[in-house]
Amino acid sequence: MNETAELAEFVASTGEIPALAHSRLRDLFLDYIGNSAFAAARAENAPAVRAAVAELDPGDGPGTVIGEAKGYHWPYAALLNGCYAHSLDFDDTNRRQTGHPGAPVISAALAEAERSGADGGAFLDALAVGYEVSCRVGAAVGPTSYDRGFHLTSTSGIFGAVAAVAKLRGFDQPTVENAFGLALSKAAGSMQYLANGSWNKRLHPGFAAHDAIVSATLAEAGVRGASAAFEGQYGLLTGYSDDPRPAALTERLGDEWLLLETGIKPYPSCRFAHAPIDAALALRAQVPEAEREEAEIAIAIGPTAMKIVGAPTAAKLAPQSSVDAQFSVYFQVALAWLDGKVDWQSYERLHDKDVAAVIGRITTHAGNLAEHGATVTVQAGGRELSTTVTAPLGEPENWVGGTALLEKFTSLAGAVYGDQHAKKIADAVAGLRSGTDVRALARLLRLG
């Protein structure tokens, strides 16, 4: 078999999935729900996207959109959930993928599980397969894809979303392979959103989830997709990468689960800014308040992080939108230094003078660091303090923990549903397993 065929066989005939994977996926699903619910209610892009989808999908459909009362038809429910899940930039990340697997994968799987009446065990199995495919495709394409201007969350995420839907529908290997081949023509997501802080990025996982359902349905009906979708002459690896790593698609497939390297974010911003935030918070605690005002801050980050969050462009030095600010290590560290925290309310300080003053005292450079690591050095009160963070808070080896995860979920979902109803959702997610009703859980996610 070639790599595409082998990955398709994995989807069709997955062996035993580790219990740890199911446990971790419950955490990631809970995190996804909180992010989506809050974004549906509060993200500035939500009203316009909702209005557009209502025009495209008029009336009431059977599919649940988190934080809404209205139902939608399945592909549009997946589109909206995928968009909402990513709108805060607070959703899970996988360092091997260099992207966000959950937003496209869960959105497609939730729509399909609700449509088909799948139970909790089948839903978790589909998520496991979808996450694994998404992470492996991202790892195979590699971070040079960003240099070409592609958003890996979307371009690798669509294949994970296809895999999750295919698993729930019980596709055989040739049908999965056809679905991958069809999805190849829909793999898209441009980084040009960085130019003006556009909402393209927030839509990317929604587009991927929607198109995954379309691709899977076409394949199920017998439509032939391109063969060798990943490793072929004009496949994903050739078209989307300067340094393709085809072995990542299948190496130790089924034995090593890359999904277990997925992290949960404590801050609603690009993951590349999180190690600098952690470092700044640690140093802030060592500097008296009177000395913080004039502190000089130097940030060393990895080469990819430098391109995405650290380049001293106008949009990063003086962000004009929340998207600009989410991709500005200057803004993120300034907020951490001033307020001792970074949360969604931080974006209300976009144009504050004290934030701009701290940004003016921050410098960045690319260092020999892990992609998500950072070294921050502070000159304050005649002293130099420095610290290095190799694994930001939320990575598996620096896990947020169950209490912090539940607090994050409640702070987001409780603002939409109320704390009592949010607890019912959390309990239902914790109870997901074979025999539980995904449709009943989906009903809990609707408003009213």
The CATH code for residues 271-389 is 3.30.1330.120
Q: What is the pLDDT along the chain (448 residues), one digit of tens a residue?
A: 799 999 999 999 998 899 999 999 999 999 999 999 999 999 999 999 999 999 999 999 999 999 999 999 999 999 999 999 999 999 999 999 999 999 999 999 999 999 999 999 999 999 999 999 999 999 999 999 999 999 999 999 999 999 999 999 999 999 999 999 999 999 999 999 999 999 999 999 999 999 999 999 999 999 999 999 999 999 999 999 999 999 999 999 999 999 999 999 999 999 999 999 999 999 999 999 999 989 999 999 999 999 999 999 999 999 999 999 999 999 999 999 999 999 999 999 999 999 999 999 999 999 988 888 999 999 999 999 999 999 999 999 999 999 999 999 999 999 999 999 999 999 999 999 999 999 999 999 999 8
Domain ranges of the chain: 3-265+401-445, 271-389
Quote the tokens at residue 417.
């549903």
Query: In a 3-state reduction of DSSP, which class is residue 150?
Result: strand
Q: How far apart are CA 151 and CA 205, in angstroms?
A: 10
Closest to 97 (Cα-Cα) out of 141, 128, 35: 141
Q: How far apart are CA 306 and CA 299, in angstroms?
A: 10
What global pTM score does this model have? Answer: 0.95
DSSP letter (8 states) at residue 435: T
Superfamily (CATH) of domain 3-265+401-445: 2-methylcitrate dehydratase PrpD (1.10.4100.10)
Specify burial of residue 288 (Cβ count, 10 A radius: 0-12, 13-18, 19+): exposed
Quote the tokens at residue 262.
């997925």
Are 3-265+401-445 and 271-389 in the same CATH fold? no
